[in-house]
Amino acid sequence: MNAPDRYERFVVPEGVKKVSYERDTKIMNAATFTVEREDHTIGNIVRMQLHRDDSVLFAGYKLPHPLQYKILLRIQTTSQSSPMQAYNQAINDLDKELDHLKNQFEGELAKHTRDY
């Protein structure tokens, strides 16, 4: 009866930013990214990619509540980098990985459809 509309889960409301960034006031090179209308799908791959980065000291994400359709991603880096730089790097690397994966998959598929 008072359930939120289903589209609330994936439509970013007007006037709301998809990604917002907030520096930590107490810790150097630490920040929280709030990503609206995303879940474990994005949260977990970005977190795992950040863990591969040597300049990242901490990376973690949480889905605060099942009915709050957003994730919080916290990053702390060494002074050689910044959370923003690490975040951008992680997304670029993931994007390139997916490009590679797509090419691999298409190549394999072409082989298989030929011997049909």
**Which is nearer to other proteins, 2 or 55 (by Cβ)?**
55
Question: How far apart are alpha carbons 29 and 56 in whole angstroms?
Answer: 10
Sites of contact with other proteins (CB under 8 A): 6-7, 9-11, 17-21, 23, 35, 38, 40-42, 44-49, 52-55, 81, 84-102, 104-106, 108-109, 111-113
Q: How far is the CB of 4 from other proteins (least distance, A)?
A: 13
Shorter beta-carbon distance to other proteins: residue 18 or 62: 18
* C-alpha separations of 88 from 10, 50, 76, 84, 85 in Å: 22, 10, 14, 6, 5
How many residues in the chain? 116
